[in-house]
Structure 1
Amino acid sequence: MKITLFIILFSIYIFPSYTQEENKRHQEYNSIITAPIESSLKQKKIDSFFKQKLQSPPTLDLANCYHDYSINRYKTSRVNNDKKTLKEAINYAKKALNIKKKIGNVTQESIDKTLFNLGFFNFRNHEYFKAIDYFSELIEVGKTNKKIKAYNELGSSYIEIGDFHKALNSTEKAFELCKPIDVNQRNIINIYLLRADIYSVMGYKEHSKEIKKNLQKADSILDIASFNKARIKSRMHQIEGNRLLETKKYQDAILIFSKILESQHHLDSINRAIAHNSLGLSFLKTRQLDNAKFNLESAIQYNPKYTAAYENLGDLHLEKKEFKKGLYQYQKAINYSISNHSKFTYRDLIDTERLEIAIHKYYLLHHLIQKANGWMQYYHHDKNQDHLIQALKTFKIADKLVDIIRFESSEYKSKLYWREQASSLYMKAVEVSFLLKKSEDAYYFMEKTRRYSY
């Protein structure tokens, strides 16, 4: 069963480039952006505007227009969930940065804003190594207030590539810059919550005390803060609810997740999906299957691409001995993990060449393991050997994905992560191989178990 590792999402700082005075000098650009015309016509006018400006030597004014139009493209990409527009945002921001570096008479603050946005846009585009490069450059040359935010985003980027040691180190560096405390309350709270997130991904059970400690420290500062606390409280409750769920305090988790849903706006679809999924899983753990089904289906209604909810719905169907329905939900989670929305059946297998293009490979790996385990449960239910064959095929695909992840991820991640995978994947694969009397496969998976158990 999938304990959601997705955290409550928040608005992030994206920095506009203009001061109020500069805005007055860019009436032509602003008049195009604010014009009540169709988007296609507006894009033509913007293209013409930039083409005209490029007839002259590059100026700070042009760089600022590129910078702010990159923000426009980013916001549009969020509304339309469009990766092409997000890439446009990155390209316009790069043009802004190149001009700012070239002309020389630019304040460091202006460069910092563009560097930060490039890091953030690349993070949103799942280009985590590029994000790390931009945030690292900002930290090297930027001013203190931007460095704090850059260290936080750098930590988030390291989480995504599995380098938890560097993620934690980034938070320590951010703490060093947060003085005096009274003017950095929000930054300090965000750092404590990021540390709680890092320890959560490293393992709720193993790091439960560290998660709790960082949440308590964040809460103690939040108590004396004067800004709006609602969204931060919601994020804290999600992390704490996940901790309670993973440490088998299910009734306490149900209370926490119910409280989150009561406080969230009904249009906050992404975060409501996360909360409903967590609540559904809590009910599933306590065998309140009707409540579990309602909340998992609610999660999918709020966010149809949320693969964790499909996996948990698969677990629910297996709990009810509805094996084909469960396997179908696992396959849906797998397909959505690689952006495959074509028709499929519960017996389908993912093409191995598509493993490398998956963005969230760790989630995909978990979906594959759960489906293989589902086939095993189906076999133990009716003793149909074909189910074992399907399980072995799925384990072999999961094994290929492990090799890809191991190649991409850090050594530190491996030490913390792969012992658990050896148990959930390779030991089960050994069992299936023996049941099928495939000694070579059994030996292969036994060797993989030994490799990742030390």
Structure 2
Amino acid sequence: MKKYILFLFYILAMNVHCQDISFALDSIHKSPGTDHSKLKVYYELLNFYKEQKNYTQLGYDAHLLAKWILRENDRPLAVKIVKMAYEAREKADPYDPELLKRSYFNYANYNRTLGNLEIAIKYFKKVIEVSTTDFLKGRTYILIGRCYESLEDLYKSIEFQNKAFQYLKNKKYIIENHIHIGITYTNIRNKISNKKAIDHLLISDSLLLKSKKQYPFKRYQVYNRLANLYQKGAGTVDIKKGFDYYNKALTLVINNDYTIELPHINYNIGVSYIEIDSVLSRHHLNQALLHTTKDDPFLPIIYAGFGYDAKQNKEYYEAQEYFRKSFSLFFNTKTPDIYWLPKTKHMKVLDDKAYFLELLKRKMHTWILMGKREDSLKYYQQAILTAYTCNALIDFLLKEDISQESKLFWRSLASEIYIIALDACHASNNVKDAFYFMEKSKALLLMQDLNKIKINIPDSIIGQEYFLKNKIINLQNALIDTKESKKDSISSLLLDRKTKLQAYKDSLAPFYPEYFTSTELPAIISLEDVILSNNEIVIQYSMAERVYGVAPEAYGMLLSKDKKKLFKIDSLKTFEKNIYKLRQQLNRPFSTSKEIEEYKKLSNTIYNSLFPKGIRNYIKNKKVTIIGDHILNYFPFEALVTDIEKNLYLIEETEIDYDLSLSFKKQNNSFVRKTNRDFLGIAPVEFPDKLISLSKSLEEISYANSYYDGELLSLDKATKENFKKEIYKYKIVHLATHADASDSLNPWIAFRDKKLYHLELNTLKNNADLVVLSACNTSLGEVRRGEGVLSLARGFFKSGAKSVIPSLWSTNDKATATITSDFYKNLSEGQTKSAALRTAKLNYLHNNTDAEASPHYWASLVLIGDSGTLLPQSNNLLFLWIGLGIVLALVILYKLFLKKKKQ
């Protein structure tokens, strides 16, 4: 009987092709039983369509069946069936993209809810490709953004959420998107992102107030988030405003009976009171606890809040016990004691990894406070073990295929962890672990980038970003200052520029397929592997904030053949101000004796901070490699005054070079660089864009060329295209031109015809042993915590350079020409790169007086990277022939000796 009924269904199905769903499918659905219980019959029907190649009907029926199965809470099966639907609709004739997009959307969305986020993103993007509906495109962009957020790629998430605005027309969805972007920006946790979060939340608040509908829950979300930002956000703190928003949010929760939100709002208020009023803090945390159930996923966060409160009240054991409870609930496991720490496999499944890092950070700091109170090495060691747990989680995230901006975000959080870990290492005199954390805090992403394949990006699309970003910034500023009546037209223009900017970014996408990214993390050198000669010293610094926006802390480490010492730099607020002041003084030559005295006093103060008494004797008359961090990369150490009375600069006592990290140096030096010729000099002399001419630049490269044979690209030959074609052939590349790495939008180097932008350095095949950037500000740029300065010098390392000599400020081309000419003479005679540059600077310093002897003229150029020798190939051949001659002479003498002996 069952077969007979099914046969009738088949007959009906064969006669009904162009309707929505078949009568056969509908009849099975309406028959008794669950859809699960009738799966065998459903599959027989779907297979029949497949055999008949009736892909249109197969697409209709499989699409709807997947929905029914989803209602019965079997998502994995729903995914399999909707996959049948989209595969059928891809083959259907006639092809219907509107039907196909629905199956793509459901397949993507079902996978999203299952946590298959990469698959979800791939098929959401297919929806956008085939869809012509603005609403669906807008919704899809939002969901792609949510997927990237779950993958901890917050910058990519924001990028896609912002794309949705151009398609959203419904005010409700526009409001929701502003709220969610605000939340995503909040999770980035820095000054700029917090301000952007507030902007989006205030826009949503304004739209809510104008709306006819009340949307009380959305208003609650906005007020709660704004309160958090004003209470705890870097650069946005306004305690009074924060509590005002909390009160508004709490009123909405109570008036609308949002019982489910009582734990969240009370927790937020409780945490905000921790440093203000412990009684009120605990009251609200207890209220949060009162309104949770045993299985509430928010419960571990509440216990963490109790831990923060106990830590603030110096109840450290109680704090650790609360953290233990929190861990137990986070991982649904029995934690035996307060010393238990999760493994990477546990942390991989966490939804909010940034929050968990914050919890680990507080636990680590609590161990340090316990160690200081009880003078116990045991607690310092626990802090260090906790830091390694944080490190493992960050390593896992950096191996993921996430955007560069998001990687920089995680490196920023890591820098907070490492600086606290250094506190524990310093207190326990643990140099070995301190060295690891110092190395791990520097240039890790740059080392990762060294393994990327070089790509070619069409010149036609480079440089647009700079133009568009400038326009956007100008329009945003105009929007603030413009009268209300004109704001609509400016807003429209702003949207147009943002759309074009996004189109520009989209145009770059094809040039960055997945195989151009390296996810393997590079090895960190161990302290045991650092081998130094009697004459060599390495001094490494780490400088970062414990919490973003708060004054940083700084540590230094001296490494010599027989000495390893970790030290702390004190009075950081004053120290930081002094560095910025010194940097301003270096921007111009001395003009009065008062300026000279002020500089000597200030630079000597900084010298004493950077080189404490126990360190100074080690560095005299030695070759010192400085590995800086943060703002310590903004000035040349050799220009510090070591003795005010004698007017003695550090360069006169010490040979100095710089490196990004010892691990980077080892990896970078391991690459084999094959070049045909010695020297490529570039000097455009005259420039477009109203840049001033550099009359001495041709003389500068010509003098170098007299020692190192090669090619000069000067005047009309000094084009961007010629440079890109020639760079890979030469051992030394010297750019005597204009540049600006302090341009945060898009750093550039000027050629005769156009500029080369920072992005294009990724495409250069650079085999140079040395790149000399005799141009302005090439070692400056944006400081990114955990990675240092994102400068043009860094860009050339990324392109393959073994060492780089950049400039720290706008240079005098006459003084630069003198120093570089002397440098090449010294280098060609066999001096190392660092010794050659030092000798050139000392010659200039000792041959000039008064204002002409200002560090402004001689200290701008610094050597970063390998400091070895670099002889001209002609000299190499000469030495080779001399060597062969000596060997031959020894052989002849030996034979004569043997002959004489026989006689």
Q: Specify if TM > 0.5.
A: yes
Describe the shift of the 1:65–1:343 C-alpha distance in structure 2 as closer, same or farther (beyond 3 A). farther
- For residue 412 of structure 1, report the CA deviation from its aligned partner: 0.7
Greater CA drift, 45-54 or 133-142? 45-54
Q: CA-to-partner distance for each residue in 1:127-149, whole Å, 9 max, x for gaps?
A: 33222212111111112221011
2:50 matched to 1:53? Answer: no
Match of 2:553 in 1: none
Match of 2:412 in 1: 419
- For residue 150 of structure 1, report the CA deviation from its aligned partner: 0.6
- For residue 310 of structure 1, report the CA deviation from its aligned partner: 3.0
Q: 2:181 aligns to what SS in structure 1? A: helix
2:234 matched to 1:238? Answer: no
For residue 130 of structure 1, the aligned residue among 119, 130, 134 is 119
Q: 1:284 aligns to what SS in structure 2? A: coil
Q: 1:206 aligns to what SS in structure 2? A: helix
Q: 2:38 aligns to what SS in structure 1? A: helix
RMSD after superposition: 3.2
How many residue pairs were aligned? 413
Contact kept, 8 Å, 1:392 with 1:433, in 2: the verdict is: yes
Q: Which amino acid aligns with 2:380?
A: L
Match of 2:420 in 1: 428
> In 2, Cα distance between the equivalents of 1:94 and 1:450?
45
Name stretches of at least 5 consecutive residues in structure 2 with no aligned partner. Answer: 1-18, 444-785, 789-903
Contact kept, 8 Å, 1:277 with 1:299, in 2: the verdict is: no
For residue 324 of structure 2, the aligned residue among 326, 331, 334 is 331
Contact kept, 8 Å, 2:303 with 2:325, in 1: the verdict is: yes
- For residue 435 of structure 1, report the CA deviation from its aligned partner: 2.2
- For residue 343 of structure 1, report the CA deviation from its aligned partner: 5.0
> In 2, Cα distance between the equivalents of 1:72 and 1:263?
38
- For residue 441 of structure 1, report the CA deviation from its aligned partner: 0.5
Contact kept, 8 Å, 1:258 with 1:279, in 2: the verdict is: no
2:195 matched to 1:209? Answer: yes
Describe the shift of the 1:55–1:352 C-alpha distance in structure 2 as closer, same or farther (beyond 3 A). closer
Q: Which amino acid aligns with 2:97?
A: Q
Describe the shift of the 1:226–1:67 C-alpha distance in structure 2 as closer, same or farther (beyond 3 A). farther
Match of 1:141 in 2: 130
Match of 1:315 in 2: 308
Match of 2:773 in 1: none
Q: 1:431 aligns to what SS in structure 2? A: helix
Q: CA-to-partner distance for each residue in 1:38-67, whole Å, 9 max, x for gaps?
A: xxxx36513233233244124555544543
Q: 1:442 aligns to what SS in structure 2? A: helix
- For residue 346 of structure 1, report the CA deviation from its aligned partner: 2.0
Describe the shift of the 1:315–1:131 C-alpha distance in structure 2 as closer, same or farther (beyond 3 A). same
Match of 2:167 in 1: 177
Match of 1:350 in 2: 342
Q: 2:192 aligns to what SS in structure 1? A: coil
Q: 2:391 aligns to what SS in structure 1? A: helix
Contact kept, 8 Å, 1:257 with 1:279, in 2: the verdict is: no
Describe the shift of the 1:230–1:318 C-alpha distance in structure 2 as closer, same or farther (beyond 3 A). same
- For residue 285 of structure 1, report the CA deviation from its aligned partner: 4.4
Greater CA drift, 313-322 or 428-437? 313-322
Q: CA-to-partner distance for each residue in 1:336-378, whole Å, 9 max, x for gaps?
A: 44x4334533221223444445454333333322222222233
Name stretches of at least 5 consecutive residues in structure 1 with no aligned partner. Answer: 1-19, 78-84
> In 2, Cα distance between the equivalents of 1:210 and 1:266?
28
TM-score normalised by length of structure 2 = 0.42
> In 2, Cα distance between the equivalents of 1:384 and 1:71?
61
> In 1, Cα distance between the equivalents of 2:350 and 2:292?
20
Q: CA-to-partner distance for each residue in 1:70-99, whole Å, 9 max, x for gaps?
A: 44555565xxxxxxx443343333233223
Contact kept, 8 Å, 1:71 with 1:89, in 2: the verdict is: yes
Contact kept, 8 Å, 1:152 with 1:191, in 2: the verdict is: yes
TM-score normalised by length of structure 1 = 0.79
2:149 matched to 1:159? Answer: yes
Describe the shift of the 1:70–1:331 C-alpha distance in structure 2 as closer, same or farther (beyond 3 A). farther
Match of 1:80 in 2: none
Q: 1:176 aligns to what SS in structure 2? A: coil
Match of 2:363 in 1: 371
For residue 91 of structure 2, the aligned residue among 93, 102, 110 is 102
For residue 108 of structure 2, the aligned residue among 119, 128, 134 is 119
Q: 1:57 aligns to what SS in structure 2? A: helix
> In 1, Cα distance between the equivalents of 2:104 and 2:348?
29
Contact kept, 8 Å, 1:296 with 1:312, in 2: the verdict is: no
Contact kept, 8 Å, 1:308 with 1:333, in 2: the verdict is: yes
Contact kept, 8 Å, 2:161 with 2:181, in 1: the verdict is: yes
Q: Which amino acid aligns with 1:47?
A: L
Q: 2:333 aligns to what SS in structure 1? A: coil
Contact kept, 8 Å, 2:49 with 2:58, in 1: the verdict is: no
Q: Which amino acid aligns with 1:200?
A: T
Match of 2:282 in 1: 290
2:36 matched to 1:31? Answer: no
> In 2, Cα distance between the equivalents of 1:348 and 1:439?
25
- For residue 255 of structure 1, report the CA deviation from its aligned partner: 0.9
Contact kept, 8 Å, 1:261 with 1:276, in 2: the verdict is: no
Describe the shift of the 1:99–1:25 C-alpha distance in structure 2 as closer, same or farther (beyond 3 A). same
Contact kept, 8 Å, 1:280 with 1:295, in 2: the verdict is: no
Contact kept, 8 Å, 1:253 with 1:282, in 2: the verdict is: no
> In 1, Cα distance between the equivalents of 2:281 and 2:209?
37
> In 1, Cα distance between the equivalents of 2:347 and 2:314?
30
Q: 1:414 aligns to what SS in structure 2? A: helix
Normalized per residue, the structure richer in strand is 2
Q: CA-to-partner distance for each residue in 1:397-447, whole Å, 9 max, x for gaps?
A: 211211111121321113344234312x10111111222222110111122
- For residue 396 of structure 1, report the CA deviation from its aligned partner: 1.1
Describe the shift of the 1:223–1:21 C-alpha distance in structure 2 as closer, same or farther (beyond 3 A). farther
Describe the shift of the 1:24–1:227 C-alpha distance in structure 2 as closer, same or farther (beyond 3 A). farther
> In 1, Cα distance between the equivalents of 2:65 and 2:226?
39
Contact kept, 8 Å, 1:277 with 1:296, in 2: the verdict is: yes
> In 2, Cα distance between the equivalents of 1:345 and 1:293?
23
> In 2, Cα distance between the equivalents of 1:375 and 1:141?
56
2:244 matched to 1:252? Answer: yes
> In 1, Cα distance between the equivalents of 2:263 and 2:27?
42
Describe the shift of the 1:61–1:200 C-alpha distance in structure 2 as closer, same or farther (beyond 3 A). same
Match of 1:8 in 2: none
- For residue 122 of structure 1, report the CA deviation from its aligned partner: 2.8
Contact kept, 8 Å, 1:244 with 1:252, in 2: the verdict is: no
For residue 372 of structure 2, the aligned residue among 380, 392, 414 is 380
2:87 matched to 1:88? Answer: no
Alignment of 1:391-402 (within 5 A): 391-402=383-394
Contact kept, 8 Å, 1:327 with 1:371, in 2: the verdict is: yes
Q: Could you say which structure has the greater relative contact order, defined with CA pairs below 8 angstroms and 6 or more residues apart? A: 1
> In 2, Cα distance between the equivalents of 1:272 and 1:28?
47
Q: 1:347 aligns to what SS in structure 2? A: coil
Describe the shift of the 1:29–1:196 C-alpha distance in structure 2 as closer, same or farther (beyond 3 A). farther
Q: CA-to-partner distance for each residue in 1:257-305, whole Å, 9 max, x for gaps?
A: 41342255556x4x55433432332343433233232134146438622
Contact kept, 8 Å, 1:361 with 1:405, in 2: the verdict is: no
Q: CA-to-partner distance for each residue in 1:216-247, whole Å, 9 max, x for gaps?
A: 32233334444562332233223222222322
Determine what percentage of the aligned residue pairs are the same residue.
18
- For residue 392 of structure 1, report the CA deviation from its aligned partner: 1.5
Q: 1:177 aligns to what SS in structure 2? A: coil
Contact kept, 8 Å, 1:293 with 1:316, in 2: the verdict is: no
Match of 2:429 in 1: 437
2:268 matched to 1:278? Answer: yes
Q: Which amino acid aligns with 1:254?
A: Y
